[in-house]
Amino acid sequence: MAIPQNVYEDVTLLKNFRDRSDGGQPWFMIPEFNTEIGDIFHITDKNKKKLFTVHGDITTASYICFLNNLLDKMIKEVESKYE
């Protein structure tokens, strides 16, 4: 079955975002608790290379990781439907 044009365009946009944000690799959180500046969560790749830091609560940091990790799975699922 051919992929509809609007789905193709949406998946292309999501792939561009994924590629700019670390190429579809899973992200992980490493917490650092600091009493002076508050909680810090380092977002890393699977090799523990720090990508960026989130200052705030664990909910925000885990949500960011969840969305990134879900994005790659969603793209794979959509593409497999139209193979």
pLDDT digits (tens, 9 = 90+) for 54-68: 988 889 999 989 988
Instruction: Give the Cβ contact number of residue 14 at 10 Å.
Output: 15
Q: Hey, what amino acid is at 21?
A: S
With a cut of 80, say whether residue 20 has pLDDT above it: no
Q: Determine the Cα–Cα distance for residues 24 and 5; give it in Å rounded to an integer.
A: 23
Average pLDDT, the chain: 86
23 exposure class (CB count in 10 Å sphere: 0-12, 13-18, 19+): exposed
- Tokens (6 digits) for 18: 């994924």
Give the per-residue pLDDT at 30: 93
